[in-house]
Amino acid sequence: MDAHGPFCPGIDPHAALLTAWGLPDTVDGLERFAMTCVEAFGGAVACVKPQSAFFERFGSRGVAVLERTLEGLREAGTLTLLDAKRGDIGTTMAGYAEAYLAEHSPLRADAVTVSPYLGYGSLRPALDLAAATGRGVFVLTLTSNPEGPSVQHAVRDGATVAAGVVAGVCADNAAARAEGALGSVGMVVGATVGSAVHDLGLDLAGSAAPLLAPGLGAQGGTPEGLRRTFGDALPQVLGNSSREVLGAGPDPAALRGAARRAADELATLVEAAGA
């Protein structure tokens, strides 16, 4: 984020985007799309977020393309955040952790998104393996979908579910916080959640968590909106947009330019907020 700006473009090869790029909705089209993104984003941005679902829909051949996508970004020296939103318990959660965070896995990424709604403690296999391998997890905390508040804003024992997630992240990042650094446990907080962070009294700034903020651009999120949503935690925010940037394709130079403009805009916003 310091070197490239606080922006993370997505790789979301859904059928409509493949068509817009003049590609067939096939594994071959998927591979051409993904490799173009690797060429465009590798070495140019802080992090790239492939959406696993759009590869999985093609079965094993699609997952093989995802492996090559992660490998290509790794070779370019660019961090990857795999958006898989996995969540389970016990040995099953350990299996997901091995798939995405173990050093030997062909699907390994630098970080993976996880769902805490079987209880934050159920994520322990992924949290521990990420810490052991120098990787990270991003825990769903406040999402922008209209159904999200029915779970995330719910209250149990005097605290919201979202506040419980934040408390768990704070505990896992305690050592990093003591050193004035960001921890290996991040949170996903939608760019369009509005005043929810303030309304629920969530201390994101004190969490020492990198904060993935999806929803910029086509989904309605704006850089200025990030300032209102995140307040003092703005320097921890990694903004994410997929459709807005991918719409500049299929030319790699145009894709890279769109991503760099977004990164520069967010870097300017963070710099101004800290002035």
Catalytic residue flag (residue 85): yes
| Residue 220 confidence (pLDDT) above 70 | no
Q: What average pLDDT does the segment 36-44 reach?
A: 98
Q: What long-range pairs does 203-206 form, CB within 8 A, spacing at least 24? A: 203/166, 203/170, 204/166, 204/230, 204/231, 204/232, 204/233, 204/236, 205/231, 205/232, 205/233, 205/236, 206/170, 206/177
Measure the CA–CA gap between 45 and 127, rounded to whole angstroms: 25
pLDDT score recorded for residue 63: 98
pLDDT score recorded for residue 223: 73
Span of 83-87, 168-172, 194-198 with lowest mean pLDDT: 194-198
pLDDT score recorded for residue 218: 59
User: Tell me: the pLDDT tens digits for 143-169?
Assistant: 999 999 999 999 999 999 999 999 999
pLDDT score recorded for residue 219: 61
Q: What average pLDDT does the segment 80-84 reach?
A: 98
Radius of gyration of the CA atoms of the chain, in A: 18
> Among 14, 68, 74, 85, which one carries the catalytic annotation?
85
The burial class, CB within 10 Å (0-12 / 13-18 / 19+), for 263 is buried
Residue-range domains of the chain with CATH: 7-270 (3.20.20.70)
pLDDT score recorded for residue 273: 73
